[in-house]
């Protein structure tokens, strides 16, 4: 570790596939922001003001993780380049070291190939000044703060069943049956409905005091598909504003640690 003691961030991974898949799943825009603390790394990507994805990578997900600052380290960086760098050794055993020295310094990936011919590839990715992402938060005190937790694979399979020509998705959560309903609305107002009762094996937890019904762009829901394919659990939350929050839990390369992705999707105002 002494050779990296001048770096504000040093992290090491011996298995990179879970991280690479998680980063690719939120790669909905070119640029992202990094927030790094002793607790881990938060990567934020925004699609205009309609959708925000936050990947939280706990420090325990890494084999080694050290941050020299008490303050949070922040910068913006090109996510496309990061996923391309990590994809260079896709399917090949390698160790990845993640380094960041100071403001304005590049984010460095050292990839050590393990095999008959050991060699190291260094990728330096230019960082930019940090831009604060939008702040989203549900009102947990309002009576319409509803929570439904699903088996992750089920939600993924459900979205695969959606009409590909749909323009909007309506989500209804009600204290009475059908409890949870998703409706896709197509170009010529054709509709498909999916209903799930809270007693279903697909639902792990159901909390609803007052009904909510809001519509969202189908395109925005589709952007979650890659992340849903990786998730073990999926929590859907909303409130009286219609802001949709999703928590997707996924395993890291270490049994005791989990990564998760938090999405926020804003509702359609007029429909």
Evaluate whether 18 touches 255 at the Cβ level (below 8 Å). Answer: no
Q: pLDDT of 156-169, one tens digit each? A: 888 888 888 899 99
Give the closest residue to 124 by CA, choosing from 185, 68, 78. Answer: 78
Same domain, 157 and 123: no
- Report strand pairing: 51-58 vs 258-265: antiparallel
pLDDT at 269: 84
Collect all residues with Cβ–Cβ distance below 8 Å to 186 and sequence separation of at least 6.
Answer: 163, 165, 166, 167
Residue 70: exposure state from Cβ atoms within 10 A (0-12, 13-18, ≥19): exposed
Domain count, the chain: 2
Same domain, 158 and 215: yes
Q: Which domain holds residue 81?
A: 9-128
Same domain, 163 and 257: yes
Among 128, 157, 179, residue at a domain's last position: 128
Same domain, 244 and 161: yes
> For every one of its 271 residues, what pLDDT tens digit does the chain have, with 9 covering 90 and above?
567 888 999 999 988 888 889 999 999 999 999 999 999 999 999 998 899 999 999 999 999 999 987 889 999 999 999 999 888 876 676 889 999 999 999 999 998 887 666 778 899 999 999 888 999 999 999 999 999 999 888 888 888 888 888 999 999 999 999 999 999 998 776 688 999 999 999 999 999 999 999 999 999 999 999 999 999 999 999 999 999 999 999 876 665 567 999 999 999 987 5
Same domain, 124 and 72: yes
Same domain, 105 and 151: no
Residue 271 domain-assigned? no
CATH of the domain at 202: 3.70.10.10
Evaluate whether 98 touches 43 at the Cβ level (below 8 Å). Answer: no
* pTM confidence score: 0.91
Q: pLDDT of 57-82, one tens digit each? A: 999 999 999 998 788 999 999 999 99
What distance in Å separates the CA atoms of residue 171 and residue 189, rounded to the nearest whole number?
Answer: 16
Residue 133 domain-assigned? no
Same domain, 185 and 246: yes
Same domain, 109 and 154: no
Q: What is the DSSP string of the chain?
A: -GGGTT-SEEEEES--HHHHHHHHHT-SSSEEEEEEETTEEEEEEEETTTEEEEEEEEGGGSSEEEE--SSPEEEEEEHHHHHHHHGGGTTS-EEEEEEE-STTPPEEEEEEE-SSS-EEEEEEE-EE---PPPP----TTSTT-EEEEEEHHHHHHHHHTS-TT--EEEEEE-SSTTSEEEEEE-TTS-EEEEEE-TTSTTEEEEE-SS-EEEEEEHHHHHTTHHHHHH-SEEEEEE-TT--EEEEEEEE-SSTT-EEEEEEEEPPPS--
What distance in Å separates the CA atoms of residue 46 and residue 220, rounded to the nearest whole number?
Answer: 11
């Amino acid at each position: 570790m002494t050779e990296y003691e001048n770096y504000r961030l040093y992290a090491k991974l011996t298995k990179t596939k879970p991280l690479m898949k998680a980063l690719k799943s939120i790669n909905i825009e070119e640029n992202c922001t990094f927030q790094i603390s002793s607790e881990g790394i938060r990567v934020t990507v925004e699609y205009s003001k309609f959708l925000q994805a936050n990947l939280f990578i706990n420090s325990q997900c890494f084999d080694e993780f050290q941050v020299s600052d008490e303050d949070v380290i922040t910068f913006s960086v090109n996510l496309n380049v990061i996923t391309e760098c990590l994809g260079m050794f896709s399917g090949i055993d390698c160790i990845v070291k993640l380094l960041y020295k100071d403001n304005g310094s590049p984010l460095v990936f050292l990839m050590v190939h393990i095999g008959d011919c050991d060699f190291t590839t260094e990728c330096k990715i230019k960082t930019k000044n940090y831009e604060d992402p939008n702040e989203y938060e549900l009102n947990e005190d309002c009576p319409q703060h509803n929570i439904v937790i699903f088996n992750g694979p089920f939600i993924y399979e459900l979205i695969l069943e959606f009409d590909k020509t749909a323009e909007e998705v309506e989500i209804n959560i009600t204290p009475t049956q059908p409890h949870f309903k998703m409706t896709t609305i197509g170009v010529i107002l054709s509709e498909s409905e999916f209903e799930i009762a809270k007693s279903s094996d697909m639902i792990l937890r159901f909390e609803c005091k007052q009904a909510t019904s809001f519509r969202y762009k189908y395109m925005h829901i589709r952007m979650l598909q890659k992340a849903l394919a990786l998730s073990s659990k999926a929590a859907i939350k909303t409130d009286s504003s219609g802001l949709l929050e999703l928590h997707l839990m996924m395993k890291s390369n270490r049994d005791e640690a989990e990564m998760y992705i938090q999405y926020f999707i804003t509702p359609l105002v007029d429909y």
